């Protein structure tokens, strides 16, 4: 007997029929003797509808009331799944974030979890053999007593946090794909599913554009060493042996991966914009005058490249921001022009970031150099480069994204045999 958290995303619970399918997945695990907590998202499209209603009511709305509105989508799903489980003869009850409680800070619409009290759920496992059906994406700020939400993809984060709180053996993330692939199969048909991925690799892949898992959920898995298994919810429940390992990808500690490749995957993002601040005096404090106002505006800066003039008196600073923040970032820099003292501001929105990721890079030299040569042969110009211990990212023209991804995927031997 084990203890599992099973998380189902919006497409998996999009209709009553799919919710009943989820219930059969849960019953399979209960029948196998497992203690089960289920975390659910809102039905597909429901959160967007709720956000639209809030915006329609008032374009400038109270973030606390926004959270009250959008958290209701998960409440509906949790109740419906509990009903479906009861219809199958499974003892189940729904839980909202505040009932557990899942405690968060007060950053409404993007709250961070500060604690989860799993004692009552564990007690009900023991005393009532009860399945806990938990509304994901939401929590409560203890001091104010207000409902909070965790931001897009927050149900993944809820699931991993709950798994850690109830000391689960594993957290299964059921989604519309059957695991984590070496890259997006829609771009590279030869992409293959990975059996295991280290937490650090998945963290980089998620933050660099892979959409399978939310970044904060991977962070929690890493901190609590909670294995996360990404699998498909569309496999027939009756075809799966609960005592074996079905198709999917296990996100785990690096020590559990016997032999890792140099490169594990290629991630990419077209949600990028480039800003170049030209002809600034090269003196102490100039970087702070640029990036300080951006930080104050809560704008995340990613790739940063500095070019110093030949005489050492002036410098250019180029950086990237999410495309959704481009206008705000440009306006923020323009407002600080007097303090920064730049001559010109150049911008581009037709750019993409391609990242090569793998823990094997720690022990292999020349990995990035191979990429530079291969892209050069394809006449793909590299605008900027950033590196870390297990990743390097390249900023290129967006028109060449697919070609670059396919080239690198083949270069590092990731094509399916």
The CATH code of the domain that includes 213 is 3.40.1160.10
Clarify whether residues 156 and 295 are in a common domain.
no
Crossing angle of the two packed helices 326-335 and 286-296, in degrees rounded to 10? 130
Find all residues with CB under 8 Å of 44, minimum gap 6, and list them.
10, 11, 13, 14
Clarify whether residues 84 and 213 are in a common domain.
yes
Please indicate, yes or no, if residue 304 is contained in any of the structural domains: yes
**How much is the average pLDDT of 37-59?**
95
**Separation CA 4–CA 24 (nearest Å):** 15
Clarify whether residues 180 and 105 are in a common domain.
yes
**Separation CA 45–CA 76 (nearest Å):** 13
Answer positive or negative: Cα dihedral of 342, 343, 348, 352.
negative
311 pLDDT more than 80: no
**How much is the average pLDDT of 126-146?**
96
- Percent of the chain past pLDDT 90, that is, above it, reads 75
Clarify whether residues 189 and 42 are in a common domain.
yes
Please indicate, yes or no, if residue 333 is contained in any of the structural domains: yes
Clarify whether residues 291 and 224 are in a common domain.
no
Clarify whether residues 241 and 277 are in a common domain.
no
Clarify whether residues 146 and 218 are in a common domain.
yes
**How much is the average pLDDT of 178-191?**
92
**How much is the average pLDDT of 208-223?**
87
The per-residue pLDDT for 248 is 92
Please indicate, yes or no, if residue 337 is contained in any of the structural domains: yes
Is residue 114 very low, low, confident or very high in pLDDT (cuts 50, 70, 90)?
A: very high
Please indicate, yes or no, if residue 417 is contained in any of the structural domains: no
The string over 18-37, giving b where at least 16 C-beta atoms fall within 10 Å of a residue's C-beta and e elsewhere, is bbbbbbebbbbbbeeebbbb
- Is-contact 136 96, C-beta < 8 A? no
Residue 206, classed as helix, strand or coil, is: helix
Please indicate, yes or no, if residue 297 is contained in any of the structural domains: yes
Clarify whether residues 129 and 73 are in a common domain.
yes
Please indicate, yes or no, if residue 261 is contained in any of the structural domains: no
Show the CA angle centred on residue 342, arms to residues 337 and 344, nearest 5°: 105
| CATH number of the domain to which 325 belongs | 3.30.2130.10
Q: Which residue has the higher pLDDT, 372 or 239?
A: 372
95-109, 110-124, 128-142, 204-218: least confidently modelled range: 204-218
Please indicate, yes or no, if residue 275 is contained in any of the structural domains: yes
Q: What is the DSSP string of 366-412?
A: SHHHHHHHHHHHTTPPEEEEEEETTEEEEEEEGGGHHHHHHHHHHHT
Domain-terminating residue out of 190, 223, 255: 255
pLDDT digits (tens, 9 = 90+) for 259-291: 668 899 999 999 899 999 998 888 888 889 999
Clarify whether residues 242 and 344 are in a common domain.
no
Domain-terminating residue out of 236, 255, 274: 255
The per-residue pLDDT for 238 is 80
Domain total for the chain? 2
pLDDT digits (tens, 9 = 90+) for 344-357: 999 999 999 999 99
Please indicate, yes or no, if residue 260 is contained in any of the structural domains: no
Domain-terminating residue out of 234, 255, 276: 255
Q: What is the span of the domain harbouring residue 390?
A: 266-411
**Separation CA 167–CA 327 (nearest Å):** 44
**How much is the average pLDDT of 312-339?**
90
**How much is the average pLDDT of 313-317?**
86
- Is-contact 130 141, C-beta < 8 A? no
Clarify whether residues 197 and 286 are in a common domain.
no
Clarify whether residues 240 and 360 are in a common domain.
no
For tokens 């104010």, what's the residue? Answer: 144
The per-residue pLDDT for 237 is 83
Clarify whether residues 95 and 161 are in a common domain.
yes
**Separation CA 368–CA 391 (nearest Å):** 9
């Amino acid at each position: 007997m084990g203890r599992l958290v099973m998380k189902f995303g919006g497409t998996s619970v999009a209709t009553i029929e799919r919710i009943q399918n989820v219930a059969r997945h849960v019953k399979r695990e209960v029948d196998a003797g497992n203690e089960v907590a289920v975390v659910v998202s809102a039905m597909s499209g429901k959160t967007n509808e709720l956000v639209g209603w809030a915006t329609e009511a008032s374009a400038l709305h109270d973030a606390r009331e926004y959270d009250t509105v959008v958290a209701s989508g998960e409440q509906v799903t949790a109740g419906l799944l509990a009903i479906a489980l009861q219809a199958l003869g499974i003892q189940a009850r729904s839980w909202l974030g505040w009932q557990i409680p899942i405690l968060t800070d007060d950053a409404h619409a993007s709250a961070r979890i500060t604690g989860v009290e799993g004692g009552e759920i564990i007690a009900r496992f023991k005393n009532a053999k009860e399945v806990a059906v938990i509304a994901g994406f939401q929590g409560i700020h203890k001091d104010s007593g207000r409902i909070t939400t965790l931001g897009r993809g927050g149900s993944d984060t809820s699931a991993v946090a709950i798994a850690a709180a109830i000391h689960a053996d594993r957290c299964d993330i059921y989604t519309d794909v059957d695991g984590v692939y070496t890259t997006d199969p829609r771009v590279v048909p030869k992409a293959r599913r990975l059996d295991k991925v280290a937490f650090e690799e998945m963290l980089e892949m998620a933050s660099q554009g892979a959409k399978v898992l939310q970044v904060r959920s991977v962070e929690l898995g890493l901190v609590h060493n909670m294995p996360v298994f990404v699998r498909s919810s569309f496999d027939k429940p009756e075809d799966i042996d609960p005592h074996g390992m079905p198709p999917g990808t296990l996100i785990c500690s690096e020590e559990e991966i016997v032999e890792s490749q140099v490169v594990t995957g290629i991630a990419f993002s077209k949600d990028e914009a480039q800003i170049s601040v030209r002809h600034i005096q090269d003196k102490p404090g100039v970087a702070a005058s640029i990036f300080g106002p951006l930080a104050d505006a809560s704008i995340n800066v990613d790739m940063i490249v500095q070019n110093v003039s030949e005489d050492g008196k002036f410098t250019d600073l180029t950086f990237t921001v999410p495309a959704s923040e481009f206008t705000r970032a440009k306006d923020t820099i323009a407002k600080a022009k007097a303090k920064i003292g730049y001559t010109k501001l150049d911008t581009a929105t037709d750019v993409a970031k391609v990242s090569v990721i793998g823990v094997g890079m720690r022990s292999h030299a020349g990995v990035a150099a191979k990429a530079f040569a291969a892209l050069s042969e394809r006449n793909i110009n590299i605008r900027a480069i950033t590196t870390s211990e297990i990743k390097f990212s390249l900023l290129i023209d967006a028109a060449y994204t697919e070609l670059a991804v396919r080239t690198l995927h083949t270069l590092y031997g990731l094509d399916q045999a």
